């Protein structure tokens, strides 16, 4: 297991946080400068060494196994948060169990909304208000789980969509002062494919059926050749993000700055 510092920085230390443009943002800026051209393993290791009490959030989606594999080489005890919206593909649920066991994670936490029976009793909210559905099923349970952590690690990458084109390795959420780390920010689809081939990691079974990006079953469709990999997510809507990723306290939207 990776050794954790005895006196690590915490996002809750007011002496370091200060104003939004204060010491915390300065620290994040220095990390981004230092690791701007570093590999994913180096970024991941730096995050784990620099900050105490990090979790990793994984959808166990199309290429999630890459970040999961990197994490398993560093610390199999890291909390892995998996949001079960109860609208996921059966293939995703089976894949999550298979990969978790294969990589030997000891602390996988399955998150679910606690009040679906009251707020979406017929499981139809995704049709009338997809933002509200994502908030109910993803954002609320994730925020509740992240309350005990100083930061989290995600698998977002710049190539995935225009809203992620300027994604940094290290971020700080304005609303929570929580750290977010994106070790794969610079990776493209070829990088992911080469890594999976080299390590012989199992791919999500829906990838072979034309799903390069996989979310909830009602809101995900196959993608045609030449389309953006995320074109199948909330197709024919302006929605691009589920709501768990924010910039300056706001959900990322098509056309908004990142």
List the Cα angle 225/226/228 in 5-degree steps. 110
25 and 121 Cβ atoms separated by less than 8 Å: no
What Cα–Cα distance (Å) separates residue 138 from each residue in 103, 150, 222? 24, 19, 22
3-state SS class at 159:
helix
3-state SS class at 25:
helix
Contacts of 248 (CB under 8 A, 6+ apart): 174
Find where tokens 């594999």 sit. 69
161 and 240 Cβ atoms separated by less than 8 Å: yes
- Side-chain-side CA neighbours of 21 within 13 Å: the count stands at 0
CA distance 113 to 140: 7
Active site residues: 242
CA distance 201 to 219: 26
78 and 30 Cβ atoms separated by less than 8 Å: no
CA distance 40 to 42: 5
3-state SS class at 88:
strand
């Amino acid at each position: 297991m990776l050794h954790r510092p005895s006196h690590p920085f915490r996002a809750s230390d007011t002496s370091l946080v200060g104003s939004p443009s204060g010491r915390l943002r300065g620290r994040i800026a220095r990390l981004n400068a230092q690791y701007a051209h570093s590999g994913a393993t180096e970024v991941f290791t730096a995050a784990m060494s620099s900050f105490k009490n990090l979790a990793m959030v994984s959808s166990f989606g199309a290429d999630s196994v890459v970040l999961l594999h990197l994490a398993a080489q560093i610390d199999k005890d890291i909390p892995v948060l998996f949001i079960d919206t109860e609208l996921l593909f059966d293939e995703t649920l089976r894949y999550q169990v298979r990969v978790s066991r294969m990589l030997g994670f000891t602390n996988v936490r399955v998150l679910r909304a606690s009040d679906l029976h009251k707020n979406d009793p017929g499981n139809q909210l995704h049709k009338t208000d997809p933002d509200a559905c994502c908030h109910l099923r993803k954002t609320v349970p994730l925020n509740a789980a992240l309350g005990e952590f100083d930061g989290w690690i995600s698998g977002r990458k710049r190539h995935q969509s225009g809203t992620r084109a300027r994604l940094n390795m290290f971020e700080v959420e304005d609303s929570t002062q929580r750290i977010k780390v994106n070790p794969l920010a610079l990776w493209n689809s070829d990088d992911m494919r080469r890594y999976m081939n080299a390590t012989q990691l199992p791919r999500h079974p829906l990838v072979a059926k034309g799903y390069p990006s996989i979310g909830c079953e009602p809101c995900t469709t196959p993608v045609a050749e030449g389309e953006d990999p995320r074109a199948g997510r909330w197709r024919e809507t302006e929605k691009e993000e589920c709501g768990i990723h924010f910039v300056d306290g706001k959900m990322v939207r098509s056309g908004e700055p990142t």
